[in-house]
Amino acid sequence: MKLVIKNGRVIDPANETDKIAPVYIAGGKIIAIGHEPEHFVAEKTLDATGQIVCPGFIDLSTRLREPGQSRKATIKSETQAAARGGITSLCVHPDTKPVIDSPAVAELIKELAIKADYPQIYPIGALTQKLEGSELSSMLALKQAGCIAVGNGNQPIKNLLILRRAMEYAASHDLPLMFRPNDFWLGTKGCAHEGVVATRYGLPSIPDAAETIALDQCLELAELTRCRVHFGQISCKRSVIKIHQAIKYGMNVSADVAIHQLHLSENDMAPFDSAYHVLPPLRTEADKQYLRQGLAGGTISTICSDHQPHDIDAKLGAFPETEPGVSALETLLPLMLKLVAQHAITLEQGIAAISQHPARILGLPIGTLTPGHAADICIFNPDQEWQVNACNWKSQGVNTPFWGHTFKGKVTHTLQSGRLIYSA
């Protein structure tokens, strides 16, 4: 289909573009911005007056719950939520059931993605068989089956020799390691940050040292093995400092932060409200502010949703007994815009953090509006208000601490390879 998007403010951080200009699309690709190509006759026109046209968003950390946990969510339901949130590419962690430790499971996920009419789902292969941390997975076969990276989900690697061998294997096949730092023994059974709130309510706690010690170990092994490492869901000040130092001295590492960590701290936790049960836990106000500074300064390059939908039963019961995670695809954009409104980052930085930078980490030719590239595009109205409620929510999981909140910033159209997959 030949399509033109007119009158929108085009923001493309990868090309340092910020201007009012038409965008011309044909054959699933962007063919021009600003000047109409010769003999171009649009079959469809989208009027983006008063709206922003930018690259489709890329989420590095999601759980879609399928295969294995379709009672919580399905690829169909969550990709609809992603499209509504302007997200055109999703990375899926390996802790599905069965685990993504064989080409067959990776291929199954790709088939389910195509069936859901959302083909741009990128599986992250398991670092070890069944995520048990004892036997390496067949990483080359996983890469050939379409896995974009390897990781161990939220499961820690207890044996550093296994982690070293896995990183050497990954480096030999140019596979980035997606690593959430968490020391097994310091972090086990905890559900809240080790601080005032956990002490007040008697909650099992996780010190920030559980993150920083595991991060230190991985940094040492990254230098030894030359493995590309992306640290996922960083949550505390000292982690930002360590990653900044590693980047300063030339190490090939990067990091992301979950969007809720930039807005919530332990002080926001309603007593025993399981919507605030996340891993890593919500930490101090000082940690939150330092994460924002790390994002603004470029140490943290990427924002992710860390989307983890749950059914109602998973969030019932005593706080420590509930399952961690929030449903977050649809709040990624408005929460990013809230950071802009609070002057924590610029709009260009925010868009780059959910498009250009994750594309660079994955090594994919997406996250940009460069002519010749796939037309993955999000069009949103930055001033339109909407409320998080059952009428406006697509995800099967309603576990969010922002239920009932009113946000600014609503997606009106999402295009994936030139196809209109969402329209408000």
Residues involved in catalysis: 306
**Residue 265, burial from CB neighbour count under 10 angstroms (0-12, 13-18, 19+):** buried
Residues facing residue 410 across a β-bridge: 381
Name the nearest CA neighbour of 309 among 288, 291, 331.
331
Which residues fall within 8 angstroms of residue 313, CB to CB, at 6 or more apart? none
Rounded distance between C-alpha atoms, residue 339 and residue 294, angstroms: 13
- Locate 338 and state its tokens: 């809230």
* 3 state DSSP class of 198: helix
Pairing verdict, β 205-206 and 192-193: parallel
How far apart are alpha carbons 196 and 285 in whole angstroms? 12
**185 half-sphere exposure, CB direction, 13 A CA radius:** 3
Do β-strands 87-92 and 23-26 pair in parallel, antiparallel, or remain unpaired?
A: unpaired
